[in-house]
Structure 1
Amino acid sequence: MRTLALAAAFLITTSPLAAQDRAEQTAAAALEAAPVWDGHNDVPIQLRSRFDNRINDFDFADTLDTATEDRAAMHTDIARLRTGKVGAQWWSVYVSASLPEPEAVQATIEQIDVTKRLIARYPDTLQLALTADDVEQAMAAGRVASLLGMEGGHSIGSSLAVLRQMYDLGARYMTLTHGTTLSWADSATDAPKHGGLNAFGMDVVREMNRIGMLVDLSHVSEEAMHDAIDVAGAPVIFSHSGARAINGHLRNVPDSVLARLPQNGGIVMVVALPWFLTEDLRQHSANRASEQARLEALLPGRPDEVEAQLAVWDAENRAPVSTISDMADHIDHVREVAGIDNIGIGGDYDGMPNGPVGMEDVTGYPALFVELARRGYSQEDLEKISSRNMMRVLRAAEAYAATQRNATPIEYAVGAPRDGED
């Protein structure tokens, strides 16, 4: 009888249901101790594009009613941030890289303004954070620590003076490029001009380090990633990127760069954007674009026929589905190459059509952490991924900046070419 009882107990504790229960308990405990610190959310550009930054009557408590005939509802609101166990959020003050740089500078200031006004309207649930201590205090008080990140060096108009003023306005990271190569930095998704960063671009990295602004390498070319790490005195971040070995999109981080992160101390905040996660979906998108181009070449001036035949192609070639497991595969790979201390989460919600199945909006983070726990990640591991790694990185950047208090600002003559020479 004793043998039978032990066998029954073993079966119960090793059953798939018991394993799932343990994974859920581990994930819940981790997110209770260390809520998600997400690397990238595009609510600010939604405020601009949907509401022209007029938010006095905007209800951020619940945005499920923001759907229109041609746009899905927003991915983010206070209620869903709570459900998603988000304790700190980098809000992206992105503006289009197609803007002339002076206009981009103005638009970025407008985005900083609207984001600060949104945060101020909800003092019981959101709190502006400018330092790691601010984040720690806000999370301890049960508020979502809210930090500002610029997405693209066009936001500083090729000016270190503007960079410093953006920091004073509250920006605490800058992605060096967006989708366009700049006069000083190559983008991952545009024709290169510099072989990475030119001399001025390297000075941008140095000055960001000096003042304590995080250098974000999402969107930059592989060569620019290496150049930035070569000159960086503080850890770098990838605010929303995947692993290129899992999905070959050039926005993702190659192993050559992942292997350097332990020494630099930086992190990859793994993105939830399906086309960066799921290689089959990326290939499907490329094939569809090729088919559309073929039909347009065969049927010039006949858009209705092109649309009809493309609909037939779509019916016969269903797009693959991106899943939580796909996102976890990227986290596994970053851990394998860079290590558990070099991983974070950077959803990119409200900057993409949708997340993977089960993570369509910001409520999905707990499901991801259950999947990671199911794969054997410990509670300590999960706490590092959720927010402790990001906290370490920000504190390290602040500590480096403190060592530079007596260093003079890097100067360029007004109007001088940004090629690294006065």
Structure 2
Amino acid sequence: MLSQFQSAVCLVLWVIGAVTVAQDAYLDRAWKLMSETPLIDGHNDLPWQLRKQFNNELNKVDLNKLNTTHTNIPKIKEGRLGAQFWSAYVPCDTQYKDAVRQTLEQIDVVHRMCQKYPETFMFATSSQDIMEAFKMKKTASLIGVEGGHSIDSSLGTLRTMYQLGVRYLTLTHSCNTPWADNWLVDTGSDPSQHNGLSPFGKQVIVEMNRLGMLIDLAHVPVAVMNQVLDMSKAPVIFSHSSAYSVCPHKRNVPDDVLKRVKETKGIVMVNFYNDYVTCSQTAKLSNVADHFDHIKKVAGADIIGFGGDYDGVTRLPEGLEDVSKVPNLVAELLRRNWTDAEVKAALGDNLLRVLREVEAVRDNLTSRSPDDVPIPYEELQSSCRTSYGYPDAGVVHSLSALALLLTLALQALIASAAY
């Protein structure tokens, strides 16, 4: 006969075994669903890590062996990553300088990454491309430009980037542009310059609808969120933002906006960055699942997606340390009684629906000519930009020079009087 101690040990081992079997069952079910529907992630900053660590010299990198990033090919395969929006990001301090050049180089490195590893990546620009890549068991690779400063207030540059394969533009990053306020305005640390969008900013939205480019509202203040939701003919995305009610960080999405995203059939792709998950430096996988649960409760499973922000953040939740761990989050949603249909919606069906609707709006606007009205010269803040094509810009330059001379003369008089 077993002693009471032995009986207790056996009971504990049995419970542990039963829990393990249950967890394995959820993970097996997650893998099955991910084999049927592509996991589409809204935001990954591996291209920026390629610049930071290797200055985009891909010949010096082997993505099969790279171990200094959250993302490499073995992790991608283990994480069952069906499609990825790779971020073409350059920092705000490039604004008014070389932002366009540096962004083009980030677009180029994504193209070259796909060319170097054709057995893993397939460059994609459409919903159809995503599904074709998924059938071929490759990761569909799309491009999102993270920050409106990258287009240098130029609709021509926006169109050129679309032709190069860019399929979303994040309207701002963490700085105002000459046509849009950024999310820091809502914290009070940046002043509002446009009360959201300027008239030219609204031109950008209309032109993105015409092109068939996804409008990304991550990194914008609530005023811009609502302005775009009011005017866009196509659904919008938040490529990497979480729920404000769970973590009241200004990078997250408040409930009233979640409801508007539902009404307009857009998508919020949940960010994994600890600071946006728990508003602290530590977090767990279950905390990320709380955001999924909250968004589903407020606006339904049809507006939810994955937007991990891997390789763009410094802190990630326990259990989601790199791209390979995402199936664990899918299993957690199943453990929380998400249905197979709800999980498939979040995995990729929602993003595919949004992208198809954006493409449909584009196709309905084919008769509309490209907008070629430039931003007013006086709204630009760049001393590096020339004024070719602006007939009155010379007058602006003359007045600016005269003002400068008068200021210098006044300063000299004040200094002389003081002496």
Fold match by TM threshold 0.5: yes
Could you tell me which residue of structure 2 aligns to residue 89 of structure 1?
Answer: 84
TM-score, scaled relative to structure 1: 0.82
Residue 220 (structure 1) shift? 0.3
Give, as a single letter, the amino acid of the residue that structure 2 aligns with 1:218: A
Aligned counterparts, 1:10-29, within 5 A: 16=19, 19-29=22-32
Quick check: 1:277 aligned with 2:277?
yes
Q: Which structure is larger by alpha-carbon Rg, 1 or 2?
A: 2
Q: Distance in 1 between matches of 2:171 and 2:157?
A: 14
Residue 102 (structure 1) shift? 4.5
For the aligned residue pairs, the C-alpha RMSD in angstroms reads 1.8
Gaps of 5+ in 2: 1-13, 185-189, 381-389, 391-419
Could you tell me which residue of structure 2 aligns to residue 42 of structure 1?
Answer: 45
Checking the alignment, whether the CA contact within 8 Å between 1:323 and 1:358 is kept in structure 2 is yes
Residue 87 (structure 1) shift? 0.7
Give, as a single letter, the amino acid of the residue that structure 2 aligns with 1:411: D
Quick check: 1:383 aligned with 2:344?
yes
Residue 196 (structure 1) shift? 1.3
Could you tell me which residue of structure 1 aligns to residue 93 of structure 2?
Answer: 98
Aligned counterparts, 1:110-121, within 5 A: 110-121=105-116
Residue 57 (structure 1) shift? 2.8
Going from structure 1 to structure 2, the CA distance change for 1:263 and 1:119 (only over 3 Å counts) comes to same
Report Cα offsets for 1:186-238 as digits up to 9, x if no partner.
11123322221121111111110100000000000011010111110111000
* % identity of equivalent residues: 42
Checking the alignment, whether the CA contact within 8 Å between 1:30 and 1:380 is kept in structure 2 is no
Checking the alignment, whether the CA contact within 8 Å between 2:154 and 2:374 is kept in structure 1 is no
Quick check: 1:78 aligned with 2:73?
yes
Gaps of 5+ in 1: 1-10, 65-72, 282-318
Q: Distance in 1 between matches of 2:33 and 2:149?
A: 38
User: 4+ runs of 1 displaced by more than 4 Å?
Assistant: 15-19
Could you tell me which residue of structure 2 aligns to residue 164 of structure 1?
Answer: 159
Residue 336 (structure 1) shift? 1.2
TM-score, scaled relative to structure 2: 0.83
Give, as a single letter, the amino acid of the residue that structure 2 aligns with 1:181: N
Q: Secondary structure at the match of 1:250?
A: coil
Greater shift after overlay, 186-195 or 392-401?
186-195
User: Between Structure 1 and Structure 2, how many residues are aligned?
Assistant: 361
Q: Secondary structure at the match of 1:240?
A: coil
Q: Secondary structure at the match of 2:363?
A: helix
Aligned counterparts, 1:66-215, within 5 A: 73-189=68-184, 190-215=190-215
Residue 417 (structure 1) shift? 4.4
Quick check: 1:401 aligned with 2:362?
yes
Q: Distance in 1 between matches of 2:375 and 2:182?
A: 25
Could you tell me which residue of structure 2 aligns to residue 51 of structure 1?
Answer: 54
Q: Distance in 2 between matches of 1:138 and 1:391?
A: 13
Residue 59 (structure 1) shift? 0.2
Report Cα offsets for 1:343-395 as digits up to 9, x if no partner.
00000000011321011110110110111000001111111111111111111
Report Cα offsets for 1:300-350 as digits up to 9, x if no partner.
xxxxxxxxxxxxxxxxxxx6x300111001111111112111000000000
Greater relative contact order: 1 or 2 (C-alpha under 8 angstroms, separation 6 or more)?
A: 1
Greater shift after overlay, 229-238 or 100-109?
100-109
Residue 415 (structure 1) shift? 5.8
Q: Distance in 2 between matches of 1:259 and 1:101?
A: 36
Could you tell me which residue of structure 2 aligns to residue 370 of structure 1?
Answer: 331
Q: Distance in 2 between matches of 1:331 and 1:197?
A: 29
2:318 to 349, 357, 360: 357
Q: Secondary structure at the match of 2:60?
A: coil
Give, as a single letter, the amino acid of the residue that structure 2 aligns with 1:250: K
Q: Secondary structure at the match of 1:344?
A: strand
Q: Distance in 1 between matches of 2:350 and 2:79?
A: 19
Checking the alignment, whether the CA contact within 8 Å between 1:29 and 1:379 is kept in structure 2 is no
Q: Secondary structure at the match of 2:94?
A: coil
Checking the alignment, whether the CA contact within 8 Å between 2:181 and 2:196 is kept in structure 1 is yes
Q: Distance in 1 between matches of 2:247 and 2:65?
A: 34
Q: Distance in 2 between matches of 1:413 and 1:115?
A: 29
